[in-house]
């Protein structure tokens, strides 16, 4: 799949995952009187696994070859970078202006927008790069494969 096709899928999927995240953030904000920036970090962490599944399935179905746990961790790190940028701006807006829903969302989108392209490039060129994908590497006879099985016959 070409980079432009992956970027298109990544962008379109973001049109689903980002509103879902902000909806959850605003619901949580309504329920708990906690700084919206901190709540955004919590929401980002909670939504990482389902977002990862969607992005992995629709944008990078080949994975990295390092296993689902390693791919999830790589994805989570990029989510946290975006959430930190968004949360910093949300926290500032909330502290300075006692932010309401639209201002919280605007501040968060600004922060996420700053890292949107960088996040795609990192995931595409480093986390899921075919050149860095070790799934094509065949284990040696003594080296276990991803399931821990060796080609060596006991005895």
pLDDT, tens only, 126-150: 888 766 555 555 545 555 554 555 5
Look at residue 147 and tell me if it is in a domain.
no
Q: Is residue 140 part of a domain?
A: no
The predicted model scores a pTM of: 0.70
pLDDT for 78-116, tens place per residue?
A: 888 888 888 888 888 888 887 677 888 888 888 888 888
In a domain, 115, yes or no: yes
The separation between CA 108 and the C-alpha centre of its own chain, rounded to angstroms, equals: 15
Residue 26 included in any domain: yes
Phi and psi at 152, nearest 5°, equal -75, 130
Number of folded domains in the chain? 1
150 part of a folded domain: no
Structural domain harbouring 106? 3-132
């Amino acid at each position: 799949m070409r980079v432009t096709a992956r970027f298109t899928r990544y962008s379109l999927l973001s049109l689903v995952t980002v509103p879902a995240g902000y909806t959850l953030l605003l619901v949580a904000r309504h329920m708990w009187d906690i700084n919206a920036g901190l709540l955004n970090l919590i929401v980002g962490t909670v939504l990482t696994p389902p977002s990862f599944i969607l992005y992995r399935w629709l944008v990078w179905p080949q994975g990295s070859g390092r296993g689902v746990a390693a791919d999830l961790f790589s994805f989570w790190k990029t989510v946290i970078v975006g959430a930190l940028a968004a949360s910093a701006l949300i926290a500032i807006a909330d502290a300075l202006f006692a932010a309401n829903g639209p201002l919280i969302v605007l501040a968060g989108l600004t922060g996420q927008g700053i890292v949107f392209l960088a996040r795609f490039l990192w995931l595409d060129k480093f986390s899921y790069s075919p050149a860095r994908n070790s799934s094509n590497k065949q284990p040696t006879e003594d080296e276990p494969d991803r399931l821990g099985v060796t080609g060596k016959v006991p005895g």
